[in-house]
Amino acid sequence: MSVQLAVADSATIRAPARRVHRLEPAALAGVMSRDVVMFGRYWKATTFSSVMQPTIYLLAFGLGLRATVRLPHYVEYVGTGVVATAILFSSAFPGMFNTFVRWQFQRTYDAMLAAPVDTEELITAEVLWISLRAGAYGMAPLLVAIAFGLEPEWGMLLVPFIGVLTGFGFAAFGVLIAAVAKTIDNFNYVTSAVLTPMFLVAGTFFPVHNLPVGVRTVALGNPLYHCVQLVRDCSLGHIGAADLGHTGVLLAFALLMWRLAVWRLGKRLID
Amino acid sequence: MRKRYGQIQAVDGLELDVPAGVCFGLLGPNGAGKSTTMRMLTAQALADAGRITVLGYELPRQSKQARMEMGVVPQLDNLDVELTCRQILTVFARLYRVARGDRAAAVERALRLVNLHGRADTIVRDLSGGMRRRLLVARGLIHEPRLVLLDEPTVGLDPQVRQELWSLIDGLRSRGVTLLMSTHYIEEAERLADTVAVMSAGRIIAQGTPADLVRAHAGEQVLEVYGRPDRLAEVSDLALRNGWSSRRSGPAVAIMRAEMLDGQGPEGVRRPANLEDAFVALTGEEIE
């Protein structure tokens, strides 16, 4: 039971094998170069929605609520909170949909895995690309909020990094969901049962400490809550020791989701 | 090697030895295990048992090194439909580690090779089926591999496009590239392959040059008898009674090894035996 392919004399005296490593930068760059080219085709639509969405949130919640409830710093509050929403939406959704479509419908992953790219490199590069994009799109709400009167702060320059870190975790979470979903319709369960509550109970539009104890405890386990806190502290100039804890939670979430995504999807890409 | 998917034993004790520099044809009907074999050679499927060596590399452990030096032309179109030919080839030039300074030239060369240089900036969605298949070939050749796997390279193409691809594949062979091609088209195997392995139910049942396979399994000549259905039934009966190997071949009954008939055979047309005769004799199956 053996298969030997092209191992005649000329092949046995081949040059010494090129060493290959895990997570080769050249492989990651190759996979991401495809994403960059694709992005060149659809950036207008995604950029439009990533600016429109926070604008609408700010108008609806900011102006609408301010009229009924007395909230002096609502633009600050919602403007910074919506950054996390933008990061979540621009990472978890592409993580789920792009992965599923490229893997199952377009078979792009099959094509790339026939090249010298392994599943870990493929998945990592895809997640990394989405997270970089999320880092950039996370800035959109902040710019909109500044237009609505939010004071610029030096700490805001840290927001893209928070976006990349948070986006990495949620993109990997999306990939993990795509790997375990049977059909693309199954994403509806995740969107309505996981992502929607997650983005509402994260201190985006209202403080978590006003919620009942049970919900509050759940909120503290929500990575998006930590993202919101971190963004708010950086943007409003309140950086403190607690932010180390927030960063730690986001880092742990990103690492865990990355390994789970590589493990689950890796198993399904190779039969 | 062996590979099982649930209840289906896709590859069952396959033994294959492809020397460098030949065009090796893996011929078999659909479901014979050809595509599974191809996927195992790129480590996109893992064998349950057995040993696989590609270009001297042990699979799956060293599969990445092997993939670095081989090209793959898949059966199913997995091109990015929204990208242009040039964009796709550039991405794959990167994936295959073509040096930055050489990428543009590699893309140009690949486009010329498959005669798509006039379409470099056309979006894949706007290409015809034949052009897309040629682009798939170009993608597999972007890094000038020493070994190319072609999985059913002309399936579903019209005859003219098929001819074009055949001359392309023949060109690669004459330049010393090792080719492993799976096909269920007999003519394709007969025309292109130096060595043909006939695959059935996950294993190789015969192997040799097309001429050797024909001689060994179908003899030199075939007698084809045409006629009305009742006449054909009569001839079939006659063949059965005399122990001649025969089969229905379209509108005729074909009697194998007609050179041994010694004038006892019925009236008909004699023609040289071909690979199709050998294939049917071997597998009992008719394919295209």
Could you name the CATH architecture of B220-272?
A: 2-Layer Sandwich (3.30)
The answer to whether residue B222 scores a pLDDT higher than 80 is yes
Please give the Cα distance from B234 to A258 (Å, whole number).
70
Class of residue A270 by CB neighbours under 10 A (exposed 0-12, middle 13-18, buried 19+) = middle
For range B65-88, the mean pLDDT:
95
Nearest residue to A253 via CA among A184, A198, A216? A198
For range A188-207, the mean pLDDT:
89
Instruction: Identify which has the larger pLDDT, A5 or B257.
Output: B257
d(CA B273, nearest CA chain A) in Å = 30
Percent of chain B with pLDDT over 70: 99
Residue range of the domain that includes A122: 24-269
Say if the Cβ atoms of B20 and A10 lie within 8 Å.
yes
Question: In chain A, how many domains are there?
Answer: 1
Tell me whether residue A197 is in a domain. Answer: yes
**A158-172, B218-232, B260-274: range with lowest mean pLDDT:** B260-274
pLDDT for res B285: 65
pLDDT for res B258: 86
Give bridge partners of residue B8 from the DSSP assignment.
B5
d(CA A268, nearest CA chain B) in Å = 10
Residues of A in contact with B58 (CB under 8 A): none
The residue with tokens 């020493």 is B146
Tell me whether residue A182 is in a domain. Answer: yes
Tell me if residue A54 falls in helix, strand or coil.
Answer: helix
pLDDT band at B88 (very low <50, low <70, confident <90, very high): very high
Cis before residue B266, ω within 30 degrees of 0? no
Nearest residue to B43 via CA among A113, A62, A144, A33? A113
B132 shares contact with chain A (CB less than 8 Å): no
For B:70-89, CB contacts with A below 8 A are: 72, 74, 76, 78-83, 87
Nearest CA in chain B to A106: B78
Q: What ipTM does this complex have? A: 0.90
Summary mean pLDDT of chain A? 89
Residues of A in contact with B81 (CB under 8 A): 106
The answer to whether residue A15 scores a pLDDT higher than 60 is no
Please give the Cα distance from B186 to B279 (Å, whole number).
8
Nearest CA in chain B to A32: B91
The residue with tokens 């170069």 is A33
> Helix A119-137 crosses helix A159-180 at what angle (to 10 degrees)?
130
pLDDT for res A55: 82
Pairing of strands B51-54, A2-5: parallel
For range B183-206, the mean pLDDT:
91
Give residue A239's identity as a one-letter amino acid code: I
pLDDT for res B38: 92
Tell me if residue B16 falls in helix, strand or coil.
Answer: strand
Contact predicate B119/B87, CB 8 Å = no
Residues of B in contact with A7 (CB under 8 A): 19-20, 53, 55-56
Test mutation, A2, A4, A5, chain B, max B CBs within 10 A:
A5
Residues of B in contact with A1 (CB under 8 A): 1-2, 13-15, 49-51
Contact predicate A226/A249, CB 8 Å = yes
Q: Which residues, in sequence order, are CB contacts of A250 under 8 Å at separation 6+?
A: A162, A165, A166, A169, A223, A226, A227, A230
Tell me whether residue A8 is in a domain. Answer: no
Say if the Cβ atoms of A116 and B97 lie within 8 Å.
yes
B126 shares contact with chain A (CB less than 8 Å): no
**Residue B132: CB atoms within 10 Å:** 17
pLDDT for res A183: 93
How many alpha carbons lie under 13 Å from residue B58 in its C-beta half-sphere? 3
Rounded to the nearest 10°, the torsion over CA B81, B83, B87, B88 is -20
Percent of chain A with pLDDT over 70: 91
pLDDT band at B9 (very low <50, low <70, confident <90, very high): confident
Could you name the CATH architecture of B2-208?
A: 3-Layer(aba) Sandwich (3.40)
The string of pLDDT tens digits covering residues A219-234 is 899 999 999 999 999 9
pTM tops 0.80, yes or no:
yes
The answer to whether residue A42 scores a pLDDT higher than 50 is yes
Please give the Cα distance from B178 to B147 (Å, whole number).
5
* N-term to C-term CA, chain B: 27
pLDDT band at A270 (very low <50, low <70, confident <90, very high): very high
Query: What order of strands is seen across the sheet that includes strand B178-183?
Result: B70-73, B147-151, B178-183, B23-27, B195-200, B203-208
Percent of chain A with pLDDT over 90: 67
The residues spanned by each domain of chain B are 2-208, 220-272
The answer to whether residue A11 scores a pLDDT higher than 50 is no
Say if the Cβ atoms of A110 and B178 lie within 8 Å.
no
Please give the Cα distance from A216 to A222 (Å, whole number).
10
Summary mean pLDDT of chain B? 90
The answer to whether residue B268 scores a pLDDT higher than 90 is no
d(CA B131, nearest CA chain A) in Å = 17
Say if the Cβ atoms of B56 and A112 lie within 8 Å.
no
Residue B95 has its nearest CB partner, among A6, A116, A269, at: A116
pLDDT band at A178 (very low <50, low <70, confident <90, very high): very high
Please give the Cα distance from B101 to A118 (Å, whole number).
25
Say if the Cβ atoms of B91 and A37 lie within 8 Å.
yes
The answer to whether residue A9 scores a pLDDT higher than 60 is no
Tell me phi and psi for residue A95, to 5 degrees: -55, -45
The answer to whether residue A8 scores a pLDDT higher than 70 is no
**Residue A180: CB atoms within 10 Å:** 12
- Most confidently modeled of A1-5, A200-204, A230-234, B242-246? A230-234
Tell me whether residue A9 is in a domain. Answer: no
pLDDT band at A13 (very low <50, low <70, confident <90, very high): very low
Tell me if residue B248 falls in helix, strand or coil.
Answer: strand
Pairing of strands B178-183, B195-200: unpaired
